[in-house]
Chains A and B, each alone.
Chain A
Amino acid sequence: MKILKLALFLAVVAGLSGAALSSVYEMTDPVIQEAKIASEKENLVKIYTSGEEFKAVETNLSDYPALQAVYEASSGGSVKGYVYKCSVTGYGGASTPIVYLIALDKDGTYKGYEVIDASGETNGFGSKVKDQPFKDGIVGKNIGDSIDTISGATISSSAVVDGIEQATQHYEENFK
């Protein structure tokens, strides 16, 4: 009898603490999500420039090693497209990956491409993945078109293209 009483007491304490935790979670979760996006926002607005709203998409990315996060851009309630944050290993090795955003529009084109960090790539060679000509080779193309790599910067640019392909694959499986 006594042991039942003890177990019951412990169960009540655990139940109460669970309730307390869930209410704090409800309170803080939107702020945490917002803060996560705020740190990304200055880059996101370079792609979707007309005041779209961004929301982090909860999705399983374990099959896509290059993808770090997915954001949904919407305006007035209708989804405009999805922005993928990618991190791929270029010439700088795994410790200084190339981090960039690639946006896939709802109409089936690559809407934008912004490099956040390519500091590990060789200046004048791998660093060309940041430059306008390479960007022009991506933005505006239809999903599924092949993207040209840069001669002289093969490792860096094919790493980027590989990440874009993973993003495309994820997009086609989840949002199409």
Chain B
Amino acid sequence: MKKFDIFKKGLFIENPIFVLLLGLCSALAITTSLTNALGMGMAVICVLIMSNVIISLLRNIIPNEIRIPVFIVIIATLVKCVQMIMNAYTPALYESLGVFIPLIVVNCIILGRAESFASKNGVVDSFLDALGMGLGYTFAVLVISFFRELIGTGGLSLFNPFDASQVIFQFSAFSEYAVSLFTQPAGAFITLGCILAFIQFLKVRKEKKAKNAEVK
């Protein structure tokens, strides 16, 4: 059961974006469409899992004094590999994500998990932690991009990120009432702010309930 908890905490309780507020830069920038968010999420999951596993394997031989430079070299190498592979096999996605693929290197989620989890825990636990955190990140960017695309363009569309010609679903409901602000960076901040406020509301309500239960 403990293993499942390691996996689960990244999804909600310690969701990297909504709760830990890590990696916001990419989360704000690439969430203009569901397709981009899904593609970016998968790239982050790949890098996160590989970096966590490698760092966890090497955790006993990496000298403590230079662990951060070593982590960064490993992460940068993985990101560059993912970037080249995406450029080769998913050129359309590569184009639309642009500079944010190389920027996964400085995504604090990845270095954060390496430093706070993978360097102290075993391979299996690190793998589960990476998978949970990666899925949590993907879930969060999908939620943000859902609202941004819906309000910003008046419809939703999802293409297969590996093959732009393959449409999974696409509809346009009220494109004449679209608020194009939401496809702009300001819209990203507004969306994220509203979602964070909603999560905070849920949290406070839960705490209050717990307190009331205690009193009774």
- Residues of A with Cβ closer than 8 Å to B? 5-6, 9-10, 13-14, 17, 20-21, 24-25, 28-29, 31-32, 35, 39
Contacts and interface: CB of A to CB of B under 8 A. Distances in A.
- DSSP class of A's interface residues: helix, strand, loop or mixed? helix
B124 interface: no
Interface of B: 62-63, 65-66, 69-70, 73-74, 76-77, 80-81, 84-85, 87-89, 91
A17 B88 contact: no
Given A9-B63, A9-B66, A35-B91, 11 more contacts: A5-B63, A9-B70, A10-B73, A17-B73, A17-B74, A21-B77, A21-B81, A24-B81, A29-B84, A29-B88, A32-B88
Nearest to A9: B63
A14 B73 contact: yes
Contacts of A6: 63, 65-66
Given A9-B66, A10-B69, A28-B84, A20 B91 contact: no
- A-B residue pairs, 7 tightest by C-beta: A17-B77, A31-B88, A28-B88, A28-B84, A24-B81, A32-B88, A35-B91
A6 B65 CA distance: 8
A19 B109 CA distance: 26
16 contacts: A6-B65, A10-B73, A13-B70, A17-B74, A20-B77, A21-B77, A21-B80, A24-B81, A24-B85, A25-B84, A28-B87, A29-B84, A32-B84, A32-B87, A32-B88, A35-B88
B148 to A, nearest CB: 25
Nearest to A36: B91
B85 A28 contact: yes
A17 B66 CA distance: 16
